[in-house]
Structure 1
């Protein structure tokens, strides 16, 4: 009888290129098995139809995954103009048709109109929860739940290819943006329909698609080679200000105690997360600075007890 591979207490971040056709959770579990990781989580879901950049967190990195959820994203989206589907993408059934003989100028004008701060209604086929259940479960039963419009930002839309009825665009946007809905809204602005036929996430939080690894590529590596592609846990919080701690301050924080800290630079914001490092340059975790009391308190620390 074959024994299951023994799991490892592995810490780090994998930049995975999720393939089309599987869920983010399936991709996560496949990566977890490849690395034999005890604990794993991902940062932001990609639909089965979508491919691209999916940061996977192992071990202690899962503590800091939430800081990527708020990050800006970039996508390459392929739209088919003139057709609406039940899901807003190619997995749904066509429910309406309209003109597809759209000029590039019309399409460009619609993209420009939807650039900037806009309000967007999340689609029914989404993982947003209503009374504890994702909206797509209601949608599959034909039940429509009222959704409130949300403020999002579309920083940039670039037309990469345009040959009706197909258009390929690059989109840079804020968190919470649904590209399926954006595609439908672009078409609506012109007076027609559209749905997504392909979607690829190319950036998130400064990470780029060029830095990713596919499951097939990872499977062909030795274990030590696979471990070598992992990024350290603190890459998830590189956007936060850094503080360096002496040994006594680091010790107190690890024991859950507040530690006196004088902000010499005068630049630290009170009650805002900071990434902290010890004298050896090792990542301690996230701390908060309280200017009124001139002290630091632990927010989310690395567990180094296994060292």
Structure 2
């Protein structure tokens, strides 16, 4: 019987909050970070289009187990809509499919925003990662197929008009929930205003719970490649990571003893006692001596682990 292969790379764990540049894909960014850190595994929490810049949280090692909790978090985008053209991709990359000489007045734009705040119904762009009969919508669209994508509900918590530099463009900021397509907002704004529109600039500045100031520009990371000593280089990179548990800071937290941590790591539940014991919840996280031990549910006076961390 052959021995299992030893994973390549370091068992490094944590979050790197990348400030992704334009013309750099999310998958490409993950591969670059994984290589720079010599990490065994890596993944991102929410795709950014190549033409978009900004926050791309990348999980390394065991932190990949916390990706779903970041994916569900609120996000903030700054974006510019250019009026007069609708495009196949709803951004600069696509071909023009409709045009208009009409331009919206500032008052008309402001009057439109309340309709797009709260829980709204949105049809994702034709060029999106939505799966249709097992295939990505963008793959079908590139093959020239007419893709019928059903509408779905998304949450818009805040939508502001930041400014109108000229009659052809408008700047916005939106705080939204999981699954919102900003390109679809631009498309729908343009249709409703009767002038068409598409995204000409898009930047993500926040993915809960990570703040904007935690972002690290890719150029800063690449610059560390010049450090010839490998250990020194990796230490400099590791110093830029955020602790795995930071991704869970919006969830209920329980501190446990070493004995309880050992039970949890073996996959066993523990009893929670005392008046300060948290109430029942589907998701909570446990630490021992400040180190992440497990994610799980609290029910019947017990913490029951779903994911454990060594």
TM-score (norm 2): 0.90
* 118-127 vs 207-216, which moves further: 207-216
1:281 maps onto 2:283 in alignment: no
Aligned partner of 1:188 in structure 2 is 191
**Is the Cα contact below 8 Å between 2:297 and 2:304 reproduced in 1?**
yes
2:304 aligned residue (297, 301, 307): 297
**Is the Cα contact below 8 Å between 1:111 and 1:157 reproduced in 2?**
yes
* CA gap 1:267/1:8 in 2 versus in 1, 3 angstroms: closer
Query: Residue 98 of structure 2: SS of its match in structure 1?
Result: strand
Deviation string, structure 1 residues 221-273 (Cα, Å, up to 9, x no partner): 33322211100000111111111112222221111222222252354124x11
1:209 aligned residue (209, 212, 222): 212
Aligned partner of 2:158 in structure 1 is 156
Deviation string, structure 1 residues 270-293 (Cα, Å, up to 9, x no partner): 4x1111011x222112122221xx
Aligned partner of 1:119 in structure 2 is 121
Q: CA deviation at 1:124?
A: 1.4
Deviation string, structure 1 residues 82-133 (Cα, Å, up to 9, x no partner): 1111111100011111134221111111223212221101111100112222
* 178-187 vs 107-116, which moves further: 107-116
Aligned partner of 1:45 in structure 2 is 47
Aligned length, in residue pairs = 294
CA RMSD of aligned residues (A): 1.5
**Is the Cα contact below 8 Å between 1:244 and 1:276 reproduced in 2?**
yes
1:248 aligned residue (259, 267, 279): 259
1:260 aligned residue (271, 283, 289): 271
TM-score (norm 1): 0.91
Q: CA deviation at 1:146?
A: 2.0
Aligned partner of 2:83 in structure 1 is 81
Return 5+ residue gaps in structure 2 as ranges: 1-7, 225-232
Distance 2:28 2:108 in 1: 40
Q: Structure 2 matches for 1:13-162, cutoff 5 A? A: 13-162=15-164
Deviation string, structure 1 residues 34-77 (Cα, Å, up to 9, x no partner): 11111111101111111110000000100111111111111011
Query: Residue 207 of structure 1: SS of its match in structure 2?
Result: coil
